Amino acid sequence: MRLAAFDPEGATKVTPDARFGALLPLGGEVLDLAKALAIEGGAPEPRSFLEWFDAEGDRWRRVRDVFGRLSADDRAVESLRRAGAVMDLSAVRLLAPVPRPGKVVCIGLNYRDHARESGMAIPERPVVFSKFTTSVIGPERPVVVPAISAQVDYEAELAVVIGRWARRVPKESALEYVLGYTNFNDVSARDLQFADQQWQRGKSCDTFGPMGPYLVTADEVKDPHRLGIRLRLNGQTMQDSNTDQLIFGVGELVAFLSESITLEPGDVIATGTPPGVGFARKPPVFLKPGDVMEVEIEGLGVLRNPVSGEPR
């Protein structure tokens, strides 16, 4: 399935009213899962949006059952369309697939060539940092260059969304705890990052965590370690690699993190970026208002975000 968070009122509202849905097979419509489950069997909406990502709950089993039936029954789709549970994608505003994650855990220097271009040694264990959840935005939302930074950079990344509570998970079974995958852009204010001598503030500015456009469930991603990954800036390819170049794979990361951190449904792990980032180029390339970034990972769609400036 391709899962998406969306605002049914389109782009007209300042504060989005997040709904959770699944894109129908032909791709032009989205199923409002809460409405569909209510019609099909009276299931209440979750108390928290993050409950949608709990793959062990009864709600998730019902989601799969309903979606599976709709995929093979055009009349059922038409019935839900009349009931307002199926909407045209052009009429809604897509949000980040996890609009407000419980945690955004990031991995640094996780592609060999990126570590080299950064002038740093290949890490012997994952380099872990985080982004504040207020940085998360969805597709087509502008990344805002803050007035205090002149060196804002892009970073295309594969993001993992957790679907089961994970604590001390063995590497061999770690992929069973993954709900799905999505595109992520680890936007970074390099001048803040390097001046602070730690990464939190420079990585966590508002709008610095674009994600989307949707979440592809793990059963539809044959091998997360064999996916083409690229970033285009104003149509020019700046990063072009493959997740087979990851130093620490998805299973290793889930196992490593869960040794000390309980991972919960809806947590996001950004797995690192390949070479080609702006600050390592000669001359450096930094984002400016009017730019457009596109992150594309094989099978996960395209995450597009324009760049704007903050009034000084």
Determine whether domain 104-309 maps to CATH 3.90.850.10. yes
Measured distance CA(97)–CA(292) in Å, rounded: 20
Q: What is the pLDDT of residue 150?
A: 96
Model pTM score: 0.95
Q: Does the pLDDT value for residue 96 go beyond 90?
A: yes
Q: Does the pLDDT value for residue 186 go beyond 90?
A: yes
Mean pLDDT of 53-61: 91
Joined tokens for residue 209 = 């965590």
Mean pLDDT of 288-297: 98
Contact (CB, 8 A) for 159 and 183:
yes
Q: Which of 135, 99, 140 is nearest to 209 (CA)?
A: 135
Q: What is the pLDDT of residue 198?
A: 86
pLDDT digits (tens, 9 = 90+) for 201-252: 999 999 999 999 999 999 999 999 999 999 999 999 999 999 999 999 999 9
Mean pLDDT of 168-181: 97
Q: What is the pLDDT of residue 69?
A: 85
The pLDDT mean for the chain works out to 93
Joined tokens for residue 247 = 């130093």
The one-character DSSP state at 57 is: S
Place of tokens 């793990």: 218
Q: What is the pLDDT of residue 13?
A: 65
Of all residues in the chain, the percent with pLDDT exceeding 90 is: 80
Q: Does the pLDDT value for residue 14 go beyond 80?
A: no
Q: What is the pLDDT of residue 57?
A: 85
Of all residues in the chain, the percent with pLDDT exceeding 70 is: 98
Q: What is the pLDDT of residue 129?
A: 96
Q: Does the pLDDT value for residue 98 go beyond 80?
A: yes
Q: What angle do CA 222, 224, 230 make, to 5 degrees?
A: 120
Banded pLDDT at 312 (limits 50, 70, 90): low
Q: Does the pLDDT value for residue 115 go beyond 80?
A: no
Which class in CATH covers the domain with range 2-94? mainly beta
Range from 10-19, 75-84, 98-107 carrying the lowest mean pLDDT: 10-19
Pairing, β 302-309 against β 143-145: parallel
Measured distance CA(31)–CA(4) in Å, rounded: 9
Q: What angle do CA 24, 28, 34 make, to 5 degrees?
A: 45
Contacts of 35 (CB under 8 A, 6+ apart): 80, 83, 84, 85
Instruction: Give the best-scoring range by mean pLDDT among 48-62, 153-167, 187-201.
Output: 153-167
Contact (CB, 8 A) for 213 and 189:
no
Q: Does the pLDDT value for residue 10 go beyond 80?
A: no
Contact (CB, 8 A) for 287 and 153:
yes
Whether residue 213 has a cis bond before it, omega within 30° of 0: yes
Q: What is the pLDDT of residue 16?
A: 72
**Fold matches, 2-94 and 104-309:** no
Give φ, ψ of 94 to 5 degrees: -75, 135
> Residue ranges of the domains in the chain?
2-94, 104-309
